[in-house]
Chains A and B, each alone.
Chain A
Amino acid sequence: MKTRIKELRARYELTQEDLAKKVGVRRETILFIEKGNYNPSLQLAHDIAKALQTTIDDLFVFEEE
């Protein structure tokens, strides 16, 4: 799964730590989500999408196998 978190963070000039504070998780969690190494819960995905003023569909790119 790919994400657009890094791109949107850059757009809003947010660091990983800023975003982590906004959604109440550790910085490493944002890092691993960005790298595609961790699949967030639906609640966290929703919170991140809300923080980046977008939707879950727009934020996460699901690839067909």
Chain B
Amino acid sequence: MKAKKEIIVATILVAMVLVTLFLYLIGTREIEYNQIVSIGIVLVLVGLAMYIIWDKIRNIQKGLPGKDERVISISHKAGYYGFIAAIWSAVLIPTMIDIIFGYELDAGDISAIVVLVSGFVFVVSYLYLYQKGK
């Protein structure tokens, strides 16, 4: 029952992200290059999240648990990697952009980078650990 609730919440979140993205694209007159990259990363994250949800549903339909001790363990590990990536991306990326392009990012840009990088690292780490086994 708990797993089903989690799937419903995750599906609603994915749908909300897609609707937000759709409304954002409608409201934007001109899309810049960096926006295309950000939107691409969001779409990859949404796609991977949908895969994880689908995988849980498939297991539940077979009478198996949506998550077990291995999945919980790799979620924790991936969360740790995502957290480390968030910290480093908040420090390194603005510094590198300042050094290379001489452009200072504002707080909104940095927040978006931190969310995208940590989310990306979490999902990639999760899938890597999922395939590797531990």
Q: Which residues of A contact B (CB under 8 A)?
A: 17, 20-21, 24-29, 32, 35, 37-41, 44
Contacts and interface: CB of A to CB of B under 8 A. Distances in A.
A36 B62 CA distance: 25
A25 to B, nearest CB: 4
A44 to B, nearest CB: 6
Interface in B39-98: 59, 62-65, 67-71
Contacts of A26: 59, 64-65, 67-68, 70-71
A17 B134 contact: no
Given A32-B134, A37-B134, A39-B134, A21 B69 contact: no
B102 interface: no
Given A25-B68, A26-B64, A29-B68, 18 more contacts: A21-B63, A24-B65, A24-B68, A25-B64, A25-B65, A25-B69, A26-B59, A26-B65, A26-B68, A28-B70, A28-B130, A28-B133, A29-B69, A29-B70, A29-B71, A32-B133, A37-B132, A37-B133
Contacts, number: 43
Nearest to B131: A28
Contact of A32 (B64, B65, B70): B70
B112 to A, nearest CB: 34
B131 to A, nearest CB: 9
